[in-house]
Amino acid sequence: MKPLVVVGDALLDRDLAGDATRLCPDAPAPVVEDPTTSSRPGGAGLAAVLAAREGRPVVLVTALGADAAGEELAGLLAERGVALVDLGSTGRTPEKVRVLAGGHPVVRLDHGTVPGEPGPWSEAAAGALGDAAAVLVADYGRGITASPGVRAALRALPQRVPVVWDPHPRGGAPVAGARLVTPNAAEAAAAAPGVGSPGPAGLAGHTARGRALLQRWQAATVAITLGARGAVLVAGDEPPLVVPAMPAGGDPCGAGDCFAAVAASRLGEGALPSEAVTDAVAAAGRYVAAGGPAGLLALDAVGAGGAAGAWDAAAVVAATRARGGTVVATGGCFDLLHAGHVTMLQAARALGDCLVVCLNSDASVRRLKGADRPIVPQDDRARVLAGLACVDAVAVFDEDTPLAVLDRLRPDVFAKGADYTAAELPEAALLASWGGQAVVVPFLEGRSSSHLVQEVVHRHAR
């Protein structure tokens, strides 16, 4: 498999996180008590790590300073499976330090704010680009994307290699011919001043700025990211594609990097820009819901493995535990989702701080319900469930029961509808083994997928 190559400015991000229950006696500032320190790749480094999480080989071409921060950052990238091509820099490796109180940032400290000069384009960098399935340019305004050698190498790429350019106000303009450019709303407004009049939800303005930037940057498409409101994709004179985001409460730090990394990965697999942007919006929403960078760090600690969907579930569980929350899980086939399901899921979510649905795979449903089931395939069932506001993650399993996936996730509570009793739940003993509890929650009488199927058959036969 050909790699995704990320070219850009890598940073070292640190979080100092603690609780704050009082103010300083000499200033209206919180006292952050006993902070713990965690470090992770930032900037282009975070984009590379998130792309590697997608399962594709990733090479990061960047310029690190010859200092302790650069050495630490190189080690963090290696631990996460990212191959590094370091051009070297005359300046310091930049560090961003966030101080968090109760999970909320109160101040940020930046070190190495004066960019150095990146080293010359190297044979190793040229070799990485020559083997790329796609290239993501993650510009953080530190100078690497303005380097003549870097820009010449990007312009020389064959047209078949898609380039995604994530711009920065202090960085250089994208090279002509980029398949997709991904400014956020503020960056788009700054790059196209005076363009676009306000319209419903601002969409007319975003569209006008997107069209202006298409011409200015000579790009194939421009996706203006709107944070919690999703993204607007503009391509030529076609109507814009508006991709809404699902509501996701969490730390948005790095969501733009997640969006760009997933979009580049999908384009490298041959997806259309519309498909890539749609998948990228969904992935960024999951990343935020899972706790942002804290969820990523927690997931590193527990490992991702498991069945399809387990990445999201493990990240959500880890992030919930990191903030002291209660993890709730439920399980089922959820073939033909109905009001009874929704009532049960809402009740289960109310028991804690996240809800993970353990979903029977198609093969599992066939063994349990017969060869003519499921009616709705597992990917569609998972997408419908994930679209509910009360569901935080979905983990698909192939066994007849969710015992194996529950053992991996170890929720605090396992909930089922009250058509069961707690004594009938085979999951009860497993939950008790780590101090968890199996419970039943209310459900609506007379609602079932099997009854819906029978009613459809009956009406069709009349």
pLDDT (tens digit per residue) in 2-46: 999 999 999 999 989 888 889 999 988 889 998 989 899 999 999
Give residue 338's pLDDT band: very low, low, confident or very high (50, 70, 90). Answer: confident
Lowest-confidence region among 225-229, 275-279, 387-391, 436-440: 387-391
The token pair at 21 is: 């229950």
Lowest-confidence region among 216-220, 290-294, 334-338, 363-367: 290-294
Query: In this structure, are residues 280 and 266 in contact, taking their beta carbons and an 8 Å threshold?
Result: yes
The token pair at 65 is: 């300073």
Give residue 228's pLDDT band: very low, low, confident or very high (50, 70, 90). Answer: confident
The token pair at 69 is: 């921060």
Catalytic positions? 257
Question: pTM of the full predicted structure?
Answer: 0.76
The token pair at 252 is: 């948005």
Cα(189)–Cα(13) distance, integer angstroms: 27
Report the DSSP pairing between strands 104-111 and 95-101. Answer: antiparallel
Specify the pLDDT at position 450. 57
CA angle 282, 284, 287 (to 5 degrees): 110
pLDDT in tens, 381-426: 998 898 788 888 899 999 999 999 999 999 999 998 865 555 567 8
Report the DSSP pairing between strands 104-111 and 163-166. Answer: unpaired
Specify the pLDDT at position 223. 97
Specify the pLDDT at position 90. 94
Specify the pLDDT at position 373. 86
Instruction: Return the biggest CA–CA distance within the chain.
Output: 81
Overall residue count recorded for the chain in this entry: 462
The token pair at 74 is: 């190189």
Specify the pLDDT at position 459. 62
User: Which carries the bigger pLDDT value, residue 450 or residue 85?
Assistant: 85
Specify the pLDDT at position 420. 58
Domains belonging to the chain, first-starting first, are: 4-289 (3.40.1190.20), 309-453 (3.40.50.620)
User: Which carries the bigger pLDDT value, residue 294 or residue 320?
Assistant: 320
Specify the pLDDT at position 296. 67
Cα atoms in the Cβ-side hemisphere of radius 13 Å centred on 355: 22
Query: In this structure, are residues 217 and 178 in contact, taking their beta carbons and an 8 Å threshold?
Result: yes
Query: In this structure, are residues 357 and 318 in contact, taking their beta carbons and an 8 Å threshold?
Result: no
For residue 233, give every residue at least 6 positions away whose Cβ sits within 8 Å of its Cβ, in sequence order, or none: 210, 221, 222, 223, 240, 241, 242, 243, 273, 274, 277
Q: What is the mean pLDDT of residues 75-96?
A: 95
Cα(292)–Cα(304) distance, integer angstroms: 15
